[in-house]
Amino acid sequence: MSDPDEPKPDGGTASQPEGESPELEDHPLEWDEPENNDLAPDERASVSRPAQKDDDPKLVTGQAKYTADYETQFPDLARAAVVRSEILHGYVTDIDASAAEEMDGVHAVLTPWSEGTPDAKYTSAGQSYPEPSPWDMTVLNEHVRYVGDPIAAVAAEDAETARAAAESIEVEYEEAEYVLDPEAAHSEDAPRLFEEDEVENEIVGHDYSRNRMAHIEGEIGDVEDAVAREDVHVHETEWETIRQSHAQIEPHTTLAYTDEDDRHVLVTSTQVPNHTRRQLAHLFDVPIRDVRVSKPRVGGGFGGKQAMVVEPIPLALSIAADRPVLYEATREEEFHAMRSRHPMTVRARTAVTEDGSIEAIDLYALSNTGAYGSHGMTVAGNVGSKPMPLYSKVPNARFEADIVHTNTPQTGAMRGYGAPQGTLALEGHLDEVARDLDLDPVEFRQRHYMEVGDLDEIAGMMGGEGAERRIRSCGLDECIERGKDAIGWDDVEQPDEDHLHRGIGMALSAQGTGVAGDELGAAQLMMNEDGSFHLHVGGVDIGTGADTAFIQIAAEVLGCDEEDIVIKSSDTDVTPFDYGAYASSTTYISGMAVKKAAEDAKERILYWGSKLLEEPESNLDTGDGTVYSEETGASVSLEEIGYEAAYGHDEREHILGKGTHCTEESPPPFAAQFADVTVDEETGEFEVTELVVAVDCGVAINPGMAEGQVEGANHMSYEMAVSEGITFDDEGRSEVRGFDDYDWPTAAETPTIESILVETHEPTGPFGAKSVAEVPTNTVPPALSNAIREAVGVRITEMPITAEKINAALEDDG
Amino acid sequence: MQFSLTVNGDPTSIDAAPEEDLATVLRREGYTGVKCGCDGGVCGASKVLIDGEARMACGTTVGDVDGATIVTIEGLGTQDDLHPIQQAFVDHFAVQCGFCIPGMIVQTKALLEETPDPSEAEARAAIDDNLCRCTGYQKPVEAILDAAERVNGDGAVATDGGTSPASTARGTTEDGGESHE
Ligand code: FES
Ligand code: FES
């Protein structure tokens, strides 16, 4: 199915060598922006208004349907349970499932050797085709590589029976040696996780003899040359990040059945319906048209559902059992058998002259991808390609990464997608360098950071996504100014007690918006005779409010009320194609497709308006539910147009609009983060009293929703700074089995988060929008590390920041 | 076995095994506004009012609540006529994916009955076991404080009924911080 030599870069960065880098003239500063895209704030009717979320009435009354809520519609619904590896590494030699098979109420049992178990290789990563992740998994495994690898599965009449049946299955293993530490794994004498023939679609730089699934690198200028210069200081620091769980409150859930036309239908909690459809067609060896993936309300994804994590098992079971099957991951499975953020060690090195000019930046990441390689290369690529371009004025830059397997749970895409790891290293490092050289840390950054008009070559140094780009909007200065004001940067009062010290730290961040050259969104709009509309869009709302943003964009173009648009999104049988909700692309890519579809329909609406008003179309526009003439003031309602078009005498037409959007652009949104901390120098205990984050997201389509995205992202970022994430005992078993073991900040433990939206205008985005939801995920770890350094003079480089670590550093110091 | 429960004002007789958990039973009966986000008793998504007290339905067996009065999210407002707490959550953009929200709203109802005028710290404490991954708790806390005003002010919903997230909570932090020992 795939050409294994040519996985397309996606979901982040490209790291496959891409040939010649683009020419400068490929990125002219001028952008041919349609006039209606650059509306002044007082000209916007729907966009940039905090419109109520379209699905809120359903959500707050408990009427919204998430996947599991469809249970009541299927009387013969069976429930699934999965048998998972209890060893870290080895081979399944025997499975005794006889007890399960004989149990009352059990409808199907599958093992790796069952006829109904798909045996093709695949990756769970929900990325574009061909996937830039290795095909290194099978649905049920003989060769198991972590505690949690699926081995067998059961469908039974209820959840309890399914679980009991799964527990009765006896598995015999031949254990193999395992390795947990990525550094140890990356050596030739480490236990091997993969034999060469166990992987298809291998990724650049793979070397399975030392557990490496990929190696990537890119450079502009000559870093070694710059570092060797006599007039520079060379600084080097090393940073470590946690294994963070997505911890979305709705578990991974799929309901699968085969309909009366023998087509496989999946109602599933996913961010990537179209990728899932394609991947299932591959696994089950059926045509794509015979798979339907439909996404109901989704209870959070954050990248954890940018993967085909649970869908194949219920589908295989439903075929075997000949009835619908619902599979809900348990919370324990969520923590050890779904996905998590790649833990990384990132080394930062710079060459800086005495007067503070950065001559070179060099980042190296060692990424622990766990047992399988999904999103491994692309996430690691983003460690460099997202944060480093912030400093686009630095002449020499290099990024390199090794992505290594260990016998630990699977990692995957997660909000920020590598940028949090890179941002910690870069922003912590630069802060330390500024202090070393006695420079103002803000001014030091300002001297090197992006401005409008810059050609960002660093983003392109690894080719592919984020390839060289022009910066057309940048609100960094304003983000910093407003953030400083809000947190009280210039006036930090120290507490009365001598042992308490207060400090404010800051960090900057940039992300991307969509994947340059590798995105597609599409939308269709149809007009009803009463002047209302149905909007069909492939874009995927996973709880972010995307559907509402789409409606606002369409309403702005059509000049109608938001209530007059009914949206249907993300059902592969009904809605147009879309790559899915990831890479901060939804509003920008799918939103632009919606805008185009609305404009396409508007053209026809104006045609009919012109007929009815007997005025040339060029005089006409839409607004307030009408087509009106700027010349004469005459108007006709959309309802009249709808009836006339549908039931007219001489001519009839169903007014339809379509829009498809892809682009080479990926404009960065920016953020400036501030953290206010008070540290007790006697104990190392600290209290974060406030987080302030200012974000330049271009035009916010819905400011209320955008603020919510910023605050939620910042909370996730705060967790990366102060929580342990998923930890393991000495034998390599996850210590986190439920929410009560996962030590994350609850409501009472979360400081006030103040979000500030800084409006700029991004000419390539719908009505000036770029992305908002990822960039504030990157910034709290460095800002907090910097704040603690400011408060008590010690530097914590290993996340999480704890009182013990501060205390130990203070003791070392003192 | 048959159990008699009053659910959202309706007396019903429900067939269940006594050790079955209330969340599963209520969902089976069609009250799917009761959400399940954990393996039991930790996330708060399944909170319902049991004789006026907010409790996690998943951590309660039907046998234990025979004869009780239960209120689920379905018992508060309807889509056309939201309860003031629901309206406050909408107006403050406190809802993202919405999966935690039924439990959070039910908890808010219980809070406001006990503490009609909570401080920010009290609001945060009340939802400390209502886990939410989407919002950072900032807007839900603002919504709770605003809901208190709406419920106190004779239960009327703000007349604009729409989008006026007056930042009631901002700048009134009493104890938003966290201590890490
Ligand atoms: S499902 Fe009941 S508390 Fe989590
Ligand atoms: S809104 Fe998604 S978990 Fe709270």
Interface check A755 vs B, CB under 8 A:
yes
Within chain A, which residue ranges are assigned CATH 3.30.365.10? 56-63+520-661, 475-514+667-814
Residues of A in contact with B125 (CB under 8 A): 747-748
Place of tokens 């960090």: A507
Q: Which ligand is nearest to the CA of B131?
A: 2
Residues 434-463 of A with CB under 8 A from B: none
At residue A24, the pLDDT reads 58
**pLDDT greater than 90 at residue A28:** no
**pLDDT greater than 50 at residue A336:** yes
Q: Which option is the CATH number for A56-63+520-661: 3.40.50.2300, 3.40.50.300, 3.30.365.10, 3.40.50.150?
A: 3.30.365.10
Atom of ligand 1 nearest to the CA of B43: 4
Residues of B in contact with A747 (CB under 8 A): 124-125, 127-128, 130, 132, 137, 140-141
The minimum CA-CA distance between A651 and chain B, rounded to whole Å, is: 40
At residue A23, the pLDDT reads 54
At residue A464, the pLDDT reads 58
Interface check A680 vs B, CB under 8 A:
no
Residues (pLDDT < 50) of chain B are 155-181
The per-residue pLDDT for range A604-660, each reduced to its tens digit, is 999 999 999 999 999 999 999 999 999 999 999 999 999 999 999 999 999 999 999
Q: Summarize the confidence of residues A781-786 as an average pLDDT.
A: 98
Burial class (CB in 10 A: 0-12, 13-18, 19+), A657: buried
The minimum CA-CA distance between B181 and chain A, rounded to whole Å, is: 5
Average pLDDT of chain B is 87
Interface check A75 vs B, CB under 8 A:
no
Residues of B in contact with A780 (CB under 8 A): none
Is the CB of residue A300 below 6 angstroms from any atom belonging to ligand 2? yes
Instruction: Give the domains, in start order, of chain B with CATH numbers.
Output: 2-75 (3.10.20.30), 84-169 (1.10.150.120)
Q: Which residue of A331, A752, A777 is the best one to mutate when testing the B interface, meaning the one whose CB has the most B CBs within 10 A?
A: A752
Q: Summarize the confidence of residues A90-116 as an average pLDDT.
A: 98
Within chain A, which residue ranges are assigned CATH 3.90.1170.50? 70-178+247-336
Residues of A in contact with B82 (CB under 8 A): 57, 60-61
| Total-model pTM | 0.94
| Backbone dihedral angles phi then psi of residue A333, each to the nearest 5 degrees | -65, -40
Please give the distance, rounded to the nearest whole angstrom, from the Cα atom of residue B98 to the centre of ligand 1: 15
Please give the distance, rounded to the nearest whole angstrom, from the Cα atom of residue A249 to the centre of ligand 2: 7
Of A567, A473, A552, A477, which Cα lies nearest the Cα of A513? A473
* pLDDT confidence band for A171 (50 / 70 / 90): very high
Atom of ligand 1 nearest to the CA of B23: 2
Contact A747 B30 (CB under 8 A): no
Please give the distance, rounded to the nearest whole angstrom, from the Cα atom of residue A250 to the centre of ligand 2: 9
* pLDDT confidence band for A4 (50 / 70 / 90): very low
Please give the distance, rounded to the nearest whole angstrom, from the Cα atom of residue B120 to the centre of ligand 1: 24
CA distances from A357 to A354, A426, A453 (A): 7, 16, 21
Interface check A746 vs B, CB under 8 A:
yes
At residue A728, the pLDDT reads 95
Is the CB of residue B106 below 6 angstroms from any atom belonging to ligand 1? no
CATH architecture of A475-514+667-814: 2-Layer Sandwich (3.30)
Contact A60 B98 (CB under 8 A): yes
At residue A30, the pLDDT reads 83
* pLDDT confidence band for A518 (50 / 70 / 90): confident
CA distances from A149 to A164, A227, A333, A407 (A): 19, 45, 10, 10
Q: Which residue of B71, B86, B99 is the best one to mutate when testing the A interface, meaning the one whose CB has the most A CBs within 10 A?
A: B99
Query: Left, alpha or beta for A178 (phi > 0: left; psi -120 to 50: alpha)?
Result: beta
Q: Any idea what the Cα angle at residue A41 is, between residues A38 and A42, rounded to 5°?
A: 115
CA distances from B95 to A53, A266, A706, A708, B82 (A): 8, 26, 12, 8, 14
**pLDDT greater than 50 at residue A338:** yes
Residues of A in contact with B77 (CB under 8 A): 60-61
Question: From atom 3 of ligand 2, which residue's Cα is the shortest distance away?
Answer: B132
**pLDDT greater than 50 at residue A463:** yes
Cβ A352 vs Cβ A375: under 8 Å = no
Mutational pocket test of ligand 2: of B36, B73, B89, B133, the residue with most ligand atoms within 8 Å of the beta carbon:
B133
Contact A747 B73 (CB under 8 A): no
At residue B181, the pLDDT reads 34
3-state secondary structure of A553: helix
Across the A:B interface, residue pairs with CB atoms under 8 Å apart total 225
The per-residue pLDDT for range A720-758, each reduced to its tens digit, is 999 999 999 988 899 999 999 999 999 999 999 999 999
**pLDDT greater than 70 at residue A3:** no
Which parts of A232-343 are beta strand (E)? 232-240, 253-258, 264-268, 291-294, 325-328
Is the CB of residue B104 below 6 angstroms from any atom belonging to ligand 2? no
At residue B152, the pLDDT reads 84
Is the CB of residue B170 below 6 angstroms from any atom belonging to ligand 2? no
The per-residue pLDDT for range B137-171, each reduced to its tens digit, is 999 999 999 999 999 865 444 433 333 333 333 33
Of A65, A357, A530, which Cα lies nearest the Cα of B97? A65
* CA dihedral (A740, A744, A750, A751) positive or negative: positive
**pLDDT greater than 90 at residue A594:** yes
Of A732, A727, A693, which Cα lies nearest the Cα of A710? A693
Q: Which ligand is nearest to the CA of A328?
A: 1
Which parts of A655-720 are beta strand (E)? 656-661, 670-680, 686-696
Average pLDDT of chain A is 94
Contact B99 A249 (CB under 8 A): yes
* pLDDT confidence band for A16 (50 / 70 / 90): very low
User: Percentage of chain A with pLDDT > 70?
Assistant: 96
Residues of B in contact with A53 (CB under 8 A): 90, 93, 95
Residues of A in contact with B138 (CB under 8 A): 711, 715, 752-753, 755
* CA dihedral (A261, A263, A268, A274) positive or negative: negative
Q: ω before A251 within 30° of 0 (cis)? A: no
Please give the distance, rounded to the nearest whole angstrom, from the Cα atom of residue A64 to the centre of ligand 2: 13
Q: Which two tokens stand for residue A541?
A: 């709302």
Pairing status of strand A325-328 against strand A396-405: unpaired
Q: Which two tokens stand for residue A374?
A: 């999904």
Residues of A in contact with B95 (CB under 8 A): 53, 56, 59-60
Atom of ligand 1 nearest to the CA of B44: 3
Please give the distance, rounded to the nearest whole angstrom, from the Cα atom of residue B33 to the centre of ligand 2: 14
Query: Which value does ipTM take for this structure?
Result: 0.95
**Higher confidence at residue A271 or residue B179?**
A271
Contact A707 B139 (CB under 8 A): yes
Contact B78 A55 (CB under 8 A): no
Is the CB of residue B98 below 6 angstroms from any atom belonging to ligand 2? yes
Residues of B in contact with A709 (CB under 8 A): 96
Q: Which residue of A has its CA nearest to B105?
A: A60
At residue B171, the pLDDT reads 31
Please give the distance, rounded to the nearest whole angstrom, from the Cα atom of residue B45 to the centre of ligand 2: 9
Residues 11-70 of A with CB under 8 A from B: 49-53, 55-66, 68-69
A70-178+247-336 belongs to which CATH class? Answer: alpha beta
The per-residue pLDDT for range A128-149, each reduced to its tens digit, is 999 999 999 999 999 999 999 9
**pLDDT greater than 50 at residue A239:** yes
At residue A25, the pLDDT reads 65
**pLDDT greater than 60 at residue A265:** yes
CA distances from B81 to A80, A484, A499 (A): 38, 42, 54
Q: ω before A28 within 30° of 0 (cis)? A: no
At residue B155, the pLDDT reads 46
Q: Which two tokens stand for residue A173?
A: 């293993």
Contact B39 A246 (CB under 8 A): no
Is the CB of residue B93 below 6 angstroms from any atom belonging to ligand 2? no
- State the Cα torsion A88-A92-A97-A100 to the nearest 10°: 20
**pLDDT greater than 70 at residue A20:** no
Amino acid at the residue A491: D
Of A249, A749, A754, which has the smallest distance from its Cβ to B100's Cβ? A249
Of A65, A72, A745, which has the smallest distance from its Cβ to B178's Cβ? A745
The per-residue pLDDT for range A384-423, each reduced to its tens digit, is 999 999 999 999 999 999 999 999 999 999 999 999 999 9
The per-residue pLDDT for range A559-587, each reduced to its tens digit, is 999 999 999 999 999 999 999 999 888 99
At residue A152, the pLDDT reads 98
